[in-house]
Amino acid sequence: MALTSFQDLLDASRRQPEPQRLLFVFARVELPEAATDAQRERAARGEGGNLSPSLCVDKAPEEVASFAALVEESATTGLPWDIVCVASLSGRAGVPPGTDEAAQPLRFMVNAINNGRVAEFAAFDREGHVLQFC
């Protein structure tokens, strides 16, 4: 299924046969200290840069009313971010996964993002636009 909006992701998570837990990693786009002019120009166009995770959270789909609500809640942390990567964790036998079960998958997400493997996740910019990585 191709996502066209954050709402598509929420709707899909709610339709799964097993209850889901959504995993969010909020990241900043950063340039290396010795960035070239070309790298700076690409970053100014919203291309390139390195992602640096700054905040992780897990939530049941019903705890996320909308992308706007997620952005508003993230603002209370005071941590800046540019992109949010999202994955989901399935429950078993009708039992939703808890926060304790989400800790290790969130660490795996952070490691994947640090290693440049962002295409494995759904990703959205601060305005809620779907991002695709090559």
Q: Six-digit token pair at 82?
A: 């540019």
Q: What is the pLDDT of residue 133?
A: 79
**Cα–Cα distances in angstroms (integers) from residue 22 to residues 31, 39, 41, in the given order:** 28, 33, 34
| More confident site: 2 or 62 | 62
The 10s digit of each residue's pLDDT in 85-94 is 999 999 999 9
Run of H or E residues at 107: helix 99-114
Is 106:23 a contact under the CB 8 Å cutoff? yes
How far separated are the first and last CA of the chain, in Å rounded? 18
Whether this prediction's pTM lies above 0.85 is answered by: yes
Pick from 111, 86, 85: which is nearest to 29 by CA?
A: 85
